[in-house]
Structure formats: C-alpha cells, structure tokens
Amino acid sequence: MSVDAIHKQLRQFLSCLKPGTLERPLLIAVSGGSDSLALLHAMADIQSDTSLKIQAATIDHSLRTEARAEAEFVHVISDRLNVPHHILTLDWKVGDKKTQASARLHRYRLLAQHAHDIGASIILTGHTFNDQMETCLLRARGGSGWWGLSGMRDIGMVPVWPEGEGLGLARPLLDMSRERLRDFLIERGISWIDDPSNENPAYERVRIRRYLTNEPHVVQEVERMQFELSERRTSIGLHLREWLQSHATWLPGGAIRMDTEACFDLPDAFLERLLMFLLPCVAGRQVTPRRERLHRLFDKFRQDDEKKMATLGGCLIDWSGADFFIVPEINSQDLMPDEITSGVWGGRVSITSQSGESVRIAAWGERKKPEHIDADRIPPLYLRRFLPVQLDDEGEVQSVPHLEHSSLISVQDLSENRMLSWLHPESQFFRG
C-alpha cells in the first residue's frame, strides 16, 4: 500500500479520539514484528509535522533468549525516529505457567502501568485484519457466544483491571491486512523481525492462520459474520446504556439499584449481557462470570421462590422488591486495613490521600458507626458494609469518605464509568 494511505488512515483515527487524548502522550506497543513497526514508523511520520507526543514500549517476555536482542532492535529504531522507547521486562514468578495466555495478561499489565507512568490515556497496538479473522475463528472453536464472535474493537478497554483503569486500547490498523502493512515497510526499505513462534504449529492460532491462508472463502464468511455481529453489539450496547440512564441509580461504593420490573421486561439476551458486565464492575473484579453460572442465575429468576437473592461473581443480587440491587460482597481481605496513599481499593473505588501520607482503609463491615455522622445519613447495613472507611489506630471507624466531605481523603467510584465504557460502541470509521 502507498505511504500516503496509511498516513491518511491514522490521521482519520486520531481525529476521532475524544478531546484531550492528543494532549497527552500516545503509547505504542511495538514488538519488532511487521505490524507494530509499520504503526511506529507511520505514527513517527505524523508526529514530525504535528504536536503529537508518541512513545513506544516493547515487552521482553523472558520466554526466548532472543527476546532481549529483539527489544534492543526496536529501541535502536525508535531512537532513530526520535521516539522515546522503554523495554519492559516480564518478571515471571516461581510456579507461573508460561503460556501465551498468561504472557498476554502480564503484557497488558506492564503496558498499562507504563502508560500511567508516562501520563498516557491510550495504548496503540498493531493488530490487523488478519488478527481479527484469526481471533474470531479461535473464539468460535472455543465455544464463544455471539458477543465474542463480534471480534476485537477498534477502540476498547485495556483487558486488565484495575491496572487498566482510565486507559483505552486502540487498534487503528484493524481493517488493514498484514500483507499491505508489509508492502508499506518494503516500500520504505524497512526490515522487521519474524517471531519463530508465529510459525510453530503447536499453537492453535498458527494452525488457524495457515488454514485461513489456504481457504480465502472462509475469510470472507468470517468477515461477514464479524461485521454483522459487531453492528449488533453496537446496537445493544447503545440500548443498554440508554436503559441504565432511565432505570438505574448508582449508589456509593459502586453498588447499583435498578427497577425490578424493567429488568425482567428486558429480553433475556439483553439482561444476560447487562449482568455479564455489571457483576465485575460492581465487584471490582477483572473477569466476567462464566455463562453457565449466569444461566443458573436465570433459572433462579424464573423460580417461584420466596428467597429472591443470590450471590455470583463477588456480588450479592437481590430482586425481592420493587428495586433490583447488585452490591459488592466483602471478604476477609476487604476487612483487613490497607495502607493507601493513592490507588484503587477493592477494584471499584479510587482513593487519594490529599496530604500525601498513607491512610488506613478497610471495608466498613459491621464496625460501629462513627458518632459524628448523623444517623439519618447512614445507609442500612447491606448498603454500607462494602464502603471503604478510614480507621484509627484502634481499628475504629474514623471517617467514611463517601458520606462526609474530607480534606484528607478523596474517593471516586469507578463502577459506573467502567460499565459505560464496556458498552460504548466501538469506532466504525474504518468500515468503508
């Protein structure tokens, strides 16, 4: 493809980012392969005549002896392009399973932490059309539902939590083939590194890649399926966002109250997707519950049982009255004091000590109510047990940041924004 074509596509992508994003550094994840190197070079071109500030990072997975040299290769290229570059080394712990899946998880954690360190709000990757097709077929073989088969988003969330809080993951080349990107590099006389694992048939993705290469008609079928399902995902995501605005209220600490009748008026597929995302957001967890466990919850919904309560995914779910509550469960770790200066507590509340000194934070649990807070401002036990409180040296509640203004501690609930981000329609501006 021509040099101008990739530049045009990337400029179009940049123009669609939310205001303020381009005022901060853009972090590009670069492996040394053709896809990410094409992204790096093209973005460096654009940076040269704009006010963009791009940085690059390469992960040394410590899985192959050549990995460090490959990371150094990217460092040299970045230096020539006047792009700040960091090598992030994955530190495997004793007993860790060194699989591609765990390496991916650790990779995004390192990238997310580095993005926070440099003040970036978005991470760019070189995923291509080929990666999209492979991912869809991999998910199909793994029994994924239609939402998974809708593929990767052009712009989505970093798939780690809470490390990915406040960060976006962008794939601006998702509609371009790997072959076209390599043509771009060849046209400029740029070489790249071929990871030998990309040719190892022991990995299912490699086998699927070869299969798709030999069966172009399958690629067309997968592309059609992925596009139609991504359109459906966008439509349902917008519907659920609007539904939440009309029928839900977010409560202090990340809990949510919804209209019970309105919940059960939703089609099962919509309610299932709503709960699939709500539960980890309320619980502050990284992963969604398994579909089979969610289906068992739906069976309980349909039973004529007086006890209309259940626990799932770190949440207590109560649909016994006019209000449908989902609140975080607390465990022994939540009840133990944690020294915090600034960070995410419980996966759902951002806590900052204004003085810069650490404060002792724990879940309220069944600790006594502080006398300085009026009784009529204190929620019932099931709506306060999970709230973070500041403890004194004796372990008593000193303050409840959610219920009182404090110049010492600020809190921000993360559940609502995380939920809305999950449902946000992906960009479709690459779709011809």
Q: Which parts are annotated binding residues for ATP?
A: 31-36
What is the spatial distance between Cα 184 and Cα 210, in angstroms, rounded to a whole number? 23
What is the DSSP pairing of strand 122-124 with strand 168-170? parallel
The angle subtended at Cα 136 by Cα 74 and Cα 283, nearest 5°, is 85
Alpha helices (H) along 16-52? 34-48
Q: Could you identify the residue written with the tokens 């690629």? A: 219
Task: Report the binding-site residues.
Answer: 31-36
Q: Are 43 and 10 in contact (CB under 8 A)?
A: yes
The angle subtended at Cα 372 by Cα 366 and Cα 378, nearest 5°, is 50
Q: Are 396 and 367 in contact (CB under 8 A)?
A: yes
What is the spatial distance between Cα 241 and Cα 160, in angstroms, rounded to a whole number? 22
Q: Are 150 and 232 in contact (CB under 8 A)?
A: yes
Q: Are 345 and 328 in contact (CB under 8 A)?
A: no
Q: Which amino acid is at 8?
A: K
Token pair of 203, please? Answer: 């990995």
Q: Are 312 and 297 in contact (CB under 8 A)?
A: yes
Alpha helices (H) along 258-380? 260-265, 268-283, 291-302, 332-335
Alpha helices (H) along 67-128? 67-80, 100-118
Cα–Cα distances in angstroms (integers) from residue 166 to residues 22, 66, 134, 395, 424, in the given order: 15, 33, 28, 32, 14
Kind and range of the H or E element at 234?
Answer: helix 216-247
